[in-house]
Amino acid sequence: MSLTSYVKKEISKKIEELSRSFYENVLPPVDIYEEGGYLNINVDLPGFQKDKIHLRLTSSNEIVIEAERELQEGGVKYLTQRPKRLSRVIRLPVAVKKDSQVTAKYENGVLHISIPVEGTTTIKIE
């Protein structure tokens, strides 16, 4: 193998590692919005099984999302888009109620999380 071929191969491997690492640490895309006294978070997690996704709400006002999947890599030569595991810590932009009833639903590759916001009261208009 020539030096040029070897260098190209090593560079390709490094790019693949960095690309996967980038996805695992920076992505997945997250949307956060407040509506009706709730903080709503949508996280794109396509291809993960619901029972392999774990959530924690920390005392420091962060939500931790961890997900893992098994990939069938038999015969795959190049793989950059599909991480085996993700770990994301999201600092919540508003205070949430301690010991609040957080709900989460995983549907069509999107994780929907809803958390009651502290200090909000819904007022019913008669």
d(C-alpha 60, C-alpha 31), whole Å:
20
d(C-alpha 15, C-alpha 113), whole Å:
33
Taking only the tens place, the pLDDT of each residue in 69-108 is 877 666 666 555 666 788 888 999 888 877 778 899 999 9
Residue 112, domain member (yes or no): yes
Specify the CATH number for the domain of residue 106. 2.60.40.790
Taking only the tens place, the pLDDT of each residue in 28-65 is 888 999 998 889 999 998 888 999 999 999 888 899 99
Write down how long the chain is. Answer: 126
pLDDT surpasses 70 at 22: no
Q: What is the pTM of this model?
A: 0.70
Say if residue 93 is preceded by a cis peptide, omega within 30 of 0: no
- Residue-number span of the structural domain to which 79 is assigned: 3-116
* Inter-residue contact 124 to 46 (CB < 8 Å): no
Q: How many domains does the chain have?
A: 1
Return the pLDDT at 82. 64
